[in-house]
Structure 1
Amino acid sequence: MKILLVKLSSLGDVVHTLPVVQDIRTALPEAEIDWVVEKSFAPLLARCSGLRRVIPCEIRRWRKSFWTGVTRQEWRAFMGELQREAYDAVIDLQGLTKSALVARLAVLAPGGKRYALANQTEGSGYEAPTRWVADVAITVEPHIHAVQRSRELAARALGYIPKITPDFGLKSPESHDFWAQAAIKKIADSTSKGRVVLVHGTSRADKEWPLEHWITLGRRLGAAGYPVALAHGNARELLTSQAIAHALNRTTADTVLVLPLLPLDALTEELAQCAGVIGVDSGVSHIAVALDLPHVQIYNFDTAWRTGPGIAGHGGRQVSVFAQPVPTVETVWQAWLGCWSVSSPASAGSAGSAP
Structure 2
Amino acid sequence: MKVLLVKLSSLGDVVHTLPVVQDILSAHPGAQIDWVVEKSFAPLLSPLVGAGLHRVIPCELRRWRKSPLAAATRAEWKIFKSLLQAEHYDAVIDLQGLTKSALVARLASVTATGKRYALANQTDGSGYEAPTRWVADVAIFIEPHIHAMQRSRVLSARALGYSLPPAWSYGLNPALAQSPRTKFAIKTVAFVHGTSRANKQWPEEDWVALGRRLAALGFQIALPHGSDEELASCERMAAAINLGSEGRPTTQAVIWPRLSLDALTQQLAQCAGVIGVDSGVSHIAVALDLPHVQIYNFDTAWRTGPLPGTAGGHQVSVYAQPAPTVQAVWDAWMSCAPTDAQAQSVV
Secondary structure class of the residue paired with 1:172: helix
Q: Does 1:348 align with 2:342?
A: yes
| Equivalent in the alignment of 2:318 | 321
Identical positions, percent: 65
What 5-or-longer segments of structure 1 have no aligned partner? 180-187
Tell me the TM-score normalised to structure 1 length.
Answer: 0.93
**How far does residue 102 in structure 1 lie from its aligned partner after superposition?**
0.1
Output the amino acid matched with 2:304. T
CA distance in 2, matches of 1:69, 1:311: 50
> Are 1:73 and 2:80 an aligned pair?
no
Instruction: Determine the C-alpha separation between the residues in 1 that align with 2:216 and 2:120.
Output: 52
Once the two structures are superposed, the pairs formed by residues 1-355 of structure 1 within 5 Å of their partners are: 1-48=1-48, 49-170=51-172, 171-172=175-176, 174-176=178-180, 188-191=182-185, 193-251=186-244, 253-310=250-307, 313-340=310-337, 344-350=338-344, 352=345, 354-355=346-347
Deviations 1:238-293 (A, max 9, x none): 11111111111221633311111111110000000000000000000000000000
- Does the Cα contact within 8 Å between 1:231 and 1:259 map onto a contact in 2? yes
TM-score, structure 2 normalization: 0.95
CA contact (8 A) 1:165 1:313 kept: no
**8 Å contact kept, 2:33–2:54:** yes
Letter in 2 for 1:239: A
Aligned residues: 339
Deviations 1:307-351 (A, max 9, x none): 0012572222000000000000000000000011xxx3344111x
- Tell me, yes or no, if the aligned pair for 2:215 and 2:252 is still in contact at 8 Å: no
**Aligned mates of 1:282, 1:311 — CA distance in 2:** 18
Give the superposition deviation at 1:203.
1.0
Describe the shift of the 1:346–1:215 C-alpha distance in structure 2 as closer, same or farther (beyond 3 A): closer
Once the two structures are overlaid, the 10-residue window that deviates more, 250-259 or 128-137, is 250-259
Cα distance in structure 2, aligned partners of 1:229 and 1:8: 29
SS in 2 for 1:302: coil
CA contact (8 A) 2:334 2:341 kept: no
**d(CA) in 2 for partners of 1:339, 1:67:** 52
Q: CA RMSD in A?
A: 1.2
1:134-161: CA deviations, max 9, x gaps? 0000000000000000000000000001
Task: Tell me which amino acid in the other structure corresponds to 1:137.
Answer: A
Amino acid at match of 1:224: L
Once the 2 structures are TM-superposed, how far is the Cα of residue 225 of structure 1 from its aligned partner? 1.4
Verify the 8 A CA contact 1:47 1:173 in the aligned structure 2. Answer: no
Structure 2 CA distance for aligned equivalents of residues 302 and 205 of structure 1: 16
SS at match of 1:51: coil
Counterparts of 2:190 and 2:166 in 1: how far apart (Å)? 29
SS at match of 1:239: helix
Unaligned runs of 5+ in 2: none
**1:165–1:312: 8 Å Cα contact kept in structure 2?**
no
Change (3 A) 1:222 1:311: same
Query: Which amino acid letter does the alignment assign opposite residue 217 of structure 1?
Result: L
Paired position in structure 2 for 1:183: none
C-alpha distance in 2, partners of 1:305/1:22? 23
1:185 paired residue number: none
